[in-house]
Amino acid sequence: MVPGGHPCGCGLKGCWEQYASGSALVREAKRAAHERPVRAAGLLRLVGGDLENITGPDVTKIAEDGDDLGIELLTELGRWIGEGAASLSAALDPEMYVIGGGVVAAGDMILEPARTAYREHLPAAGHRTIAPIVAASMGNDAGIVGAAELARLDLDGNRIGAGDARA
């Protein structure tokens, strides 16, 4: 997404994940708290004055309470999601984007800026269907629920039922 951008765990730089994820949100919140402590007063108060304690849900909490910095951070994250989705649409044209992970707890505070940025960056926008961008119904639990569901399958992919000797 960003040539020469933030280093990523995969070894490259500027990957989408480094801009459109919960860890990106926390990184930017910590940076804001360090560089703009007056503007981050509400956030710093919530975490006992230590910016190392900042979590994604803290940012969502202050944004829900109307804090300008919190809203700004979620908007920025949402815009990255939307811009990336627009690039994906250029190649793949999916019918829908389902956004999961902890960040969707922020709901429309992230999804609305994502939808706006998506429409603004969609190539040949007049000739495409605008894919809806929605929150995953299981939010941050999707991964663990999926893992539990996998554990209920046998090696052939059949569900292990109550009447099954192996269950």
Does 142 interact with Zn ion (rule: CB under 5 A)? no
E-strand ranges in the chain read 97-99, 133-135
Separation between Cα atoms, residue 85 and residue 150, nearest integer Å = 28
Does 160 interact with Zn ion (rule: CB under 5 A)? no
Tell which one of 4, 10, 92, 155 touches Zn ion (CB under 5 A): 10
Does 20 interact with Zn ion (rule: CB under 5 A)? no
Does 12 interact with Zn ion (rule: CB under 5 A)? yes
Does 8 interact with Zn ion (rule: CB under 5 A)? yes
Binding piece for Zn ion, criterion CB under 5 A, among 13-21, 53-61, 120-128, 129-137: 13-21
Closest CA to 77 of 36, 113, 37: 113
Interacting residues toward Zn ion by CB under 5 A: 8, 10, 12, 15
